[in-house]
């Protein structure tokens, strides 16, 4: 069964808090079917949060992870302690250091303990299919500093995956059951997250109605060829690296157009991470460690946690939120006057305004003033755009269109061996890189990404149809898309020969009430994330910036902005959904 047919046959849930895709144990998104439900979630309203059975993994801790943490606390914790589980001992120590760094100077440092736990290796060749030796780090802390620990979990993206937690429960606590319910966020936790951007406690006792029994799970695995033979995980990771770097090379059809003397890139310069945010976080850590620590620049308005990383770890950030030519000219002036920066971080194009930075100019400034360039190409994706010649490091969230199935997290970093900073960066990654991308996640990611290029082309085609519809809708005041932006020429400079403009669209209405009506009427999946094989919509500013709506408007982020990530469904069906939503909106206007 093809991806397209499979997703056309999935029922679109309108039930608050259900996983997206429906009935998916390790889902990446969650249903918030109306504008009011999204606001209610952000406000911590009981009618919403009590129904939250799933969530985006960096914000909503999976029930299986909660159960693992509960078991570890019961066995190894001290009275009054909570714990959080990370993919390695070193990551747990980084979380501890973060807690200490954010503890006020006039306050006694909290008691924070770090524990390393390991599972046994396979004892026979037969066991190699189901048993992997692995180690994790556990951090114990008093409840008073929980929000700091959770902030690290969210910002760094280095928490364990639900599949790893499932494996650890089975091997560390073989007598325990982990068929538990997911708890919803409490109102207090939601309100705290509005300020701190944190998510629910992993230690709250929980109980779930969602988990299928093992027989059903096995049937699904067999039906879709998803049996996870762990002995193939190393080969899957090699395949992923080659797929990432191979796509880059295959699309390298006219390198002279982009940059002269570009060499072939090596799969050894690809590093895999448990999430896209972890890849950005580790690029930032590399700059802080391999070079004298300086402030960085965030060029353009980015996804919220990219800016959080740059703000909260290290010396700080110069935020150039408009990301336009004038901002770049101001940066050049400041650099010429002696300002020092360690690196410039940017998205290509940006989320949610779909602006493309002038990478040629940024690369020239980097070479002149000796700073690194870190480009997040997730929204564009490396089938459509080729940014590596301009970057020292390229970060990608593999969770998005590379995977498409919305059932696994992952990220990657690619180093550019042409730049002057390559040797120092390579030395850092050689010495400090930890492969904490869990074996089962790698196997699922490898499977999902086999038809990445085909799906990307389909998404490009479908999205153009939606863009055409939105452009001709009189109720809409602005459509954001790379081909419509005044930065289109910068996108075209890096667009591959057969590439398109991607699957993400944002738009705003003249009347905010129309935005609400239109969004509620859309018969699409609705929730966080992007790059899914199915079309996914959200009131982006409400969902990502509810606690700072006035602040983000300074950077042209309208509070009523709607974002759609277009999938691979039949394009006629997609347009029909949009037309019906418009009809409902027009009827609502006539009735009011």
* Whole-number Å distance between alpha carbons of 165 and 161: 6
Listing DSSP states for 389-431 in one string gives GG-SEEEEETTTTTT-SSS---EEEEE-TTSTTHHHHHHHHHH
Structural domains of the chain sorted by starting position, each given as residue range(s) with its CATH number in brackets: 55-209 (no CATH), 230-450 (3.40.640.10), 452-591 (3.90.1150.10)
Q: Which two tokens stand for residue 260?
A: 């002269």
* Whole-number Å distance between alpha carbons of 456 and 467: 16
Q: What is the 3-state secondary structure (H, E, C) of 492-503?
A: HHHECCCCCCCC
Cα 149 from chain centre: 19
Predicted pLDDT of residue 247: 60
Predicted pLDDT of residue 177: 53
* Whole-number Å distance between alpha carbons of 163 and 25: 9
Predicted pLDDT of residue 52: 85
Predicted pLDDT of residue 248: 54
Contact criterion met (CB below 8 Å) for 526 and 25: no
Backbone angles phi, psi at 24, to 5 degrees: -110, 120
* Whole-number Å distance between alpha carbons of 423 and 427: 6
Predicted pLDDT of residue 62: 86
Tell me the pairing of strands 317-320 and 343-347. Answer: unpaired
Helix axes 439-448, 233-250, angle to 10 degrees: 40
Convert 93-117 to b/e letters by CB count within 10 Å (16 or more is b).
Answer: bbbbebbeeebeeeeeeeebebbeb
Q: Which residues pair with 495 in a beta bridge?
A: 385
Which candidate, 566, 396, 424, places its Cα nearest to that of 481? 566
* Whole-number Å distance between alpha carbons of 397 and 403: 9
* Whole-number Å distance between alpha carbons of 300 and 415: 22
Query: pLDDT tens per residue, the chain (592 residues)?
Result: 344 444 444 568 789 999 998 888 898 999 999 999 999 999 999 999 898 887 787 878 888 999 999 999 999 999 999 999 999 999 999 999 999 999 888 888 899 999 999 999 999 999 999 999 999 999 999 999 999 999 999 999 999 999 999 999 999 998 765 444 333 333 444 444 433 332 332 232 232 333 334 433 433 343 344 457 999 999 999 999 999 987 654 444 333 333 333 445 688 999 999 999 999 999 999 999 999 999 999 999 999 999 999 999 999 999 999 999 999 999 999 999 999 999 999 999 999 999 999 999 999 999 999 999 999 999 999 999 999 999 999 999 999 999 999 999 999 999 999 999 999 999 999 999 999 999 999 999 999 999 999 999 999 999 999 999 999 999 999 999 999 999 999 999 999 999 999 999 999 999 999 999 999 999 999 999 999 999 999 999 999 999 999 999 999 999 999 999 999 999 999 999 999 999 999 998 888 7
Q: Which two tokens stand for residue 363?
A: 């690369």
Predicted pLDDT of residue 174: 87
Predicted pLDDT of residue 259: 36
Contact criterion met (CB below 8 Å) for 465 and 571: yes
Contact criterion met (CB below 8 Å) for 466 and 505: yes
* Whole-number Å distance between alpha carbons of 581 and 176: 48
Contact criterion met (CB below 8 Å) for 385 and 402: no
Predicted pLDDT of residue 180: 41
């Amino acid at each position: 069964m093809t991806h397209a047919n499979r997703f056309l046959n999935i029922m679109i849930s309108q039930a608050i808090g259900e996983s997206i895709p429906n009935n998916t144990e390790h889902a990446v998104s969650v249903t918030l079917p109306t504008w009011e439900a999204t606001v209610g979630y952000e406000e911590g309203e009981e009618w919403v949060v009590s129904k939250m059975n799933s969530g985006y993994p960096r914000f909503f801790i999976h029930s299986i992870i909660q159960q693992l943490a509960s078991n570890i606390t019961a066995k190894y914790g001290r009275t009054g302690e909570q714990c959080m589980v990370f993919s390695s001992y070193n990551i747990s120590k980084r979380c501890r250091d973060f807690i200490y760094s954010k503890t006020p100077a006039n306050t006694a440092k909290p008691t924070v303990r770090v524990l390393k736990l390991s599972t046994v290796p396979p004892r026979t060749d037969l066991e190699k299919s189901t048993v992997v030796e692995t180690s994790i780090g556990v951090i114990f802390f008093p409840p008073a500093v929980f929000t700091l620990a959770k902030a690290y979990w969210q910002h760094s993206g280095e928490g364990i995956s639900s599949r790893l937690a499932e494996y650890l429960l089975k091997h560390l606590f073989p007598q325990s059951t982990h068929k538990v319910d997911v708890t919803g966020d409490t109102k207090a936790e939601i309100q705290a997250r509005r300020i701190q951007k944190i998510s629910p406690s992993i230690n709250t006792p929980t109980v779930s109605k969602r988990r299928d029994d093992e027989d059903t799970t096995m049937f699904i695995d067999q039906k879709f060829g998803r049996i996870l033979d762990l002995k193939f995980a190393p080969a899957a990771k090699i395949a992923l690296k080659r797929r990432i770097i191979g796509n880059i090379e295959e699309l390298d059809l006219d390198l002279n157009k982009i940059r002269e003397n570009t060499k072939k890139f090596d799969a050894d310069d690809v590093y895999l991470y448990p999430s896209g945010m972890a890849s950005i976080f580790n690029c930032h850590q590399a700059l802080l460690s391999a070079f004298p620590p300086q402030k960085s620049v965030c060029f353009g308005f980015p996804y919220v946690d990219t800016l959080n990383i740059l703000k909260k770890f290290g010396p700080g950030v110069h935020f150039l939120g408009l990301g336009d030519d004038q901002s770049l000219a101001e940066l050049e002036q400041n650099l010429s006057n002696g300002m020092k920066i360690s690196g410039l971080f940017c998205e290509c194009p940006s989320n949610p305004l779909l602006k493309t930075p002038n990478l040629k100019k940024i690369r020239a400034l980097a070479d002149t003033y000796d700073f690194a360039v870190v480009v997040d190409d997730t929204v564009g994706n490396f089938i459509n755009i080729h940014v590596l010649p301009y970057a020292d490091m390229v970060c990608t969230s593999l969770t998005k269109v590379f995977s498409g199935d919305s059932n696994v997290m992952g990220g990657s970093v690619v180093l550019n061996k042409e730049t002057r900073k390559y040797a120092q960066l390579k030395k850092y990654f050689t010495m400090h890189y930890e492969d904490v991308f869990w074996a089962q996640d790698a196997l699922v990611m490898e499977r999902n990404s086999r038809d990445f290029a085909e799906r990307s082309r389909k998404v490009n085609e479908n999205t153009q149809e939606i863009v055409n519809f939105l452009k001709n809708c009189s109720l809409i005041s602005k459509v954001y898309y790379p081909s419509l932006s005044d930065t289109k020429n910068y996108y075209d400079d890096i667009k591959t020969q057969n590439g398109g403009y991607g699957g993400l669209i944002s738009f705003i209405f003249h009347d905010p009430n129309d935005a609400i009506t239109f969004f509620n009427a859309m018969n699409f999946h609705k929730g966080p994330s992007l790059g899914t094989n199915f079309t996914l919509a959200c009131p982006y500013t409400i969902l990502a910036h509810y606690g700072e709506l006035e602040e983000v408007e300074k950077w042209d982020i309208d509070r009523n902005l709607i974002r759609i990530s277009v999938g691979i469904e039949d394009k006629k069906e997609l347009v029909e959904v949009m037309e019906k939503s418009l009809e409902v909106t027009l009827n609502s206007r006539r009735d009011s």
